[in-house]
Amino acid sequence: MITRSFANNFAVQDWTEELAMIPNIRTPLSDLGIFRAEAVSQTTVSFEQTFGTLGLIGDVHRGGNVLANQDETRKIHTYKVPYHKVIDYLTQADVHGQRAYGSADMADTKAAVLERKMIRMKRSALMTEEYAKFYALTQGKIWSPNGTVAHSSFYTDFGVTRKEVAFDLSNAATDVVAKTEEIIAHIQDNSLSGDAYTGVVALCSPEFFSALIAQAGVKEAYKFYSSTQEPLRQRLGGNTTLYREFTFAGCLFREVRDGVNGNRFIPANEAYFIPTGTQDSFISYVAPSAKLDMANTLGENQYLWVYGDPKGEKEEMELEFSHVHLLRRPSAVVRAVKGATV
C-alpha cells in the first residue's frame, strides 16, 4: 500500500499492488490467451496497416531493363481507449455488530470487509474485460455501452467482410469435416498476413456444441477414435466441469456457457472460429489511470484507491481501469451458425 497526497491534500491510499495479489478468476478467453496485452501511456492507440504484395522476380538480360519494386501503402488506425470506474464505501454499518464470515461469535473487522469489497470489485472488472473481449470477437466492435467511444466496426475499418458458415447439424448428410477445413483454410490463406499461429479454436454456444456432438457424421467418426476417455464429452482438464470440449477435424471445439447479468458471451446457436497463439492479430491495450500523477505512465490492469474522510465516518474505494480490445486482423474470426443458412 502506498499513500499519495494529491492536490487536494487529502491522503489517498494506493491499493493497486494489493489488488493485483488477488487471484484472477478463470475465464474462457484468459485461459486461451487470445488477446495479447500491451501497456500504453496514452488514452488513444494507433497502429499502421500496410498493404503490399510479394511476387516472383523474373529473369532479365544482364544490363537490360528491370521491373521496379513497388512500395507498400499504409493506413493509420486510431482508437480511443474506454475508461471504467466504480466506487464503493466502507462505513461503520459494514463492521459494527457484524459477525465475521465462518465464525459463530467473532466480530467482523475493517480489514476483512475491505478485502471482500476488493475481491468483488476486481471480479466485476475482470468480467467486464472478458465481456468486452467477447463483444469484439462476436460483434466486431469496441464495447462502449454508454457511447463514450464511437466505433462502427473493425470490418468497416479494414475494408473486409466477415466470413460466415452455416452448419446444418440436424442434417445427417452435413460434412462437418469439410466445413471445418474450409474455415481453417480461410484463416490460413486470407487472414493472418504473416502472423504466426498455433491452432484454431471454435468457441461454441451450448446449443451449437450439443448439436455438434449429436450430429450423425461426428458420432460416426468417433466410433473409430481410440481412447479410454469419452472424447465427445471430455471436460477441460480431464475431470473438471468448466467446459465441454473435444478436438475434431484439426480444430478444438469448446463450449462457452458463461455470461454476465444475462448477457451471454456467445450468442445462442452460434460459434466463432479463432486462431490461437497469434502475436499481433488480437491486442488488448491497457491505458493509465485518470489520476494526475499517473499521466504518461504505462497502464496497469486495474487501479484501486482508498480515500479517507476528514470526519472519519467512511472510506471511499475507487476502482478504475482503461482497456481497449482490438481485432487487428478481423477476417481471422469466422462466425458459424447452427442451421441451414447464416
Would residue 171 count as lying in a domain? yes
DSSP bridge pairs for 4: 12
Cα separations (Å) of 297 from 13, 19, 125, 306, 313? 18, 19, 21, 20, 33
Would residue 61 count as lying in a domain? no
* Residue percentage of the chain with pLDDT more than 70: 80
Would residue 162 count as lying in a domain? yes
Would residue 56 count as lying in a domain? no
Residue 85 and residue 76: Cα distance in Å, rounded?
Answer: 29
pLDDT in tens, 93-125: 887 667 666 655 566 688 888 888 888 999 999
Higher pLDDT, 174 or 52: 174
Sequence-separated (6 or more) residues with CB below 8 Å from residue 318: 85, 86, 87, 304, 305, 306, 307
Across the chain, the runs of DSSP E, i.e. the strands, are 2-5, 11-14, 36-39, 44-51, 73-80, 84-91, 164-167, 199-204, 245-248, 251-255, 259-260, 263-264, 270-276, 282-286, 303-307, 314-321, 323-327, 334-338
CATH number at residue 185: 3.90.1690
Higher pLDDT, 65 or 159: 159
270: how many CB neighbours lie within 10 A of its CB? 21
Would residue 121 count as lying in a domain? yes
Higher pLDDT, 48 or 233: 48
Higher pLDDT, 232 or 270: 270
Closest CA to 81 of 129, 36, 118: 129
Strand order in the sheet with 303-307: 2-5, 11-14, 303-307, 314-321, 84-91
Local confidence band at 13 (pLDDT 50, 70, 90 cut-offs): confident
pLDDT at 66 over 70: no
pLDDT at 239: 46
Would residue 67 count as lying in a domain? no
Say if residues 181 and 249 touch (Cβ distance below 8 Å).
yes
pLDDT at 81 over 50: yes
User: How much is the average pLDDT of 240-245?
Assistant: 70
pLDDT at 60: 59
pLDDT at 5: 42
Domain total for the chain?
Answer: 1
Q: Residue 91: which domain range?
A: 2-49+75-338
Residue 134 and residue 127: Cα distance in Å, rounded?
Answer: 11
Local confidence band at 129 (pLDDT 50, 70, 90 cut-offs): very high
Would residue 62 count as lying in a domain? no
User: How much is the average pLDDT of 327-335?
Assistant: 95
Sequence-separated (6 or more) residues with CB below 8 Å from residue 177: 217, 221, 248, 249
User: How much is the average pLDDT of 224-244?
Assistant: 57
pLDDT at 26: 72
pLDDT at 4 over 50: no
- Tracing cell 476417455 back to the chain, one arrives at 229
Say if residues 266 and 273 touch (Cβ distance below 8 Å).
no
pLDDT at 6 over 50: no
Would residue 324 count as lying in a domain? yes
